[in-house]
Structure 1
Amino acid sequence: MAKIKIKLVKSTIGKPEKHRKIIEALGLRKIGQIVEKEDTPQIRGMIDKVDYMVEVIE
């Protein structure tokens, strides 16, 4: 499987609870933090839900 890097670019303050939980599940905590995940449909779906808060580096 290919890997993708996900970077948190916007704060979760004031965002819906579901979106905050998705960011937490992706392993992101601080703005500017980058995590590397497997490129699966499940991870892509999570990214699609919070695409306004994250940046994908492929």
Structure 2
Amino acid sequence: MAKKKQLKVTQIGSPIGRPKDQRATLVGLGLNKMHRSRVLEDTPSVRGMCAKIHHLVKVEEVSA
């Protein structure tokens, strides 16, 4: 059984002064403070959320 790919998403930008939908996307990814990281399953929805706020997050593939 193949392991599912994972992404490490780290918040590098502040949501201050950003539109509500970008703030909500950060919360949806489980991020709420600068330099916090989450390891999430690599799915199209997570990729889309990261693409929407690419200027606020750093995305790395986790080799597990």
**TM exceeding 0.5:** yes
Among all aligned residue pairs of Structure 1 and Structure 2, give the percentage whose two residues are the same amino acid.
Answer: 36
Which residue of structure 1 aligns with residue 18 of structure 2?
A: 15
Which residues of structure 2 form unaligned runs of 5+?
A: none
Paired AA for residue 11 in structure 2: L
4+ runs deviating over 6 angstroms: none
For residues 48 and 60 of structure 2, the distance between their equivalents in structure 1, rounded to whole angstroms, comes to 16
Which residue of structure 2 aligns with residue 37 of structure 1?
A: 40
CA RMSD of superposed structures (Å): 0.5
Q: Give the 3-state SS of the residue equivalent to 1:31 in structure 2.
A: coil
Which residues of structure 1 form unaligned runs of 5+?
A: none
Q: 1:53 aligns with which of 51, 56, 59?
A: 56
Q: 2:9 aligns with which of 3, 6, 9?
A: 6
For residues 35 and 41 of structure 1, the distance between their equivalents in structure 2, rounded to whole angstroms, comes to 16
Distance apart, 1:27 and its partner CA:
0.1
Distance apart, 1:57 and its partner CA:
1.4
Larger Rg: 2
Aligned pairs, number: 58
